Amino acid sequence: MLGRWLGMLLGGLLSCTAEAVAQTLPAEIRVAGEAWEGHSNADGSGLAWDVLRAVFEPAGVKLVASSEPYTRSIGLAQRGKVDAALGLYRGEVDDLDFPRWPYAADRVVALGLTRLPQPTLQTLANYRLIWVRGYAFQDQLPSVGRYQEVQRRDGIPAMLREGHADFYIDDDAEVDFLLASLEQHADLRVTELQLLPLYLAFTRTERGRALKQLYEQRMDVLARNGSLRAIFKRWKDHYPYDSAQEPHHGTP
């Protein structure tokens, strides 16, 4: 009898908690992210947007996606102009909150001349590296030594060929897009380095905290039951939840 009474009490408390969370949720989540082919397209299609719709919209929160340059997306979230910024590495900024679950993973590669030895994570310190400003690969990859940040990708092949840098570091989609824009690239080679989890970084407001809590609750279910797998298959992207079924601890 006591066990039944305790079960009813616990069920009532959980129901009240769920109702309280639902009452504090906004009707929409505003997310800013860089336009990234196949990932976060400017027209609202792409892997990231589809994953976020699957997370939020069945819970009654509509996704409002906006395409902004990477650093501007972060700035908008820091100022509370949007609820979250898309596509950050864990701990990349200090004043946004990172959830426990990533929404995808970034395949980080190095592009360099074929005459150079293929780099590894352990040998990166031996080379002069370049990447686009704002990506902060020095905080994500081990053994990074000399590096330079550039504003634009279009001048990178010339920098490599003229000996101003040894390797260009970026995600594989951006490197593939750059190579496709070149008339010839037989002298360039792509080497895979590491998979890095990608996160939605939430603003530190009451609204942001409520949306982060919903995200974590939904991902506890969706990432573990495999229901997101079809989205990754549709966009031909790496499914990030097979190797790590337990998420990181998010920021408080």
Question: What are the per-10-residue average pLDDT scores of the chain (252 residues)?
Answer: 46 46 81 93 97 98 96 96 95 92 95 97 94 87 90 93 96 91 96 94 97 97 94 93 64 55
CA distance 252 to 244: 21
145 CB-side CA count, 13 A: 11
Q: Quick one: which of 50, 54, 33 has its CA closest to 42?
A: 33
Q: What is the pLDDT of residue 142?
A: 84
Distance CA 130, CA 153 (A): 10
Cα separation, 211 vs 229, in Å, equals 23
How many CB atoms lie under 10 A from the CB of residue 246? Answer: 9
Output phi, psi for 165, to 5 deg. -155, 160
- The first and second tokens of residue 67, run together, are 């395409």
pLDDT of residue 252: 46
* Residue 37 near residue 181, CB atoms below 8 Å: no
Give domain 26-105+197-234's CATH number out of 3.40.1390.10, 3.40.190.10, 2.40.50.140, 3.50.50.60.
3.40.190.10
Identify the bridge partners of residue 194 per DSSP, sorted by sequence position.
108
C-alpha closest to that of 143 among 167, 162, 159, 164: 167
| pLDDT computed for residue 251 by the predictor | 64
Q: From CA 32, how far away is CA 52, in angstroms rounded?
A: 12
* Residue pair 108/173 in contact by the 8 Å Cβ criterion: no
pLDDT number for residue 186: 96
The pLDDT, as a whole number, for residue 21 is 47
Q: In a 10 Å sphere around its CB, with 0-12 CB exposed, 13-18 middle and 19+ buried, how is residue 94 labelled?
A: exposed
Tell how strand 167-171 and strand 129-132 pair up: parallel
Positions of CATH 3.40.190.10 in the chain = 26-105+197-234, 106-195
Whole-number Cα distances in Å, 42 to 33, 69, 167, 209: 9, 11, 29, 26
Distance CA 96, CA 55 (A): 20
> What's the pLDDT at 246?
57
pTM listed for this prediction: 0.78
3-state helix, strand, coil in the chain (%, to 5): 35, 25, 40
CATH assignment, 106-195: 3.40.190.10
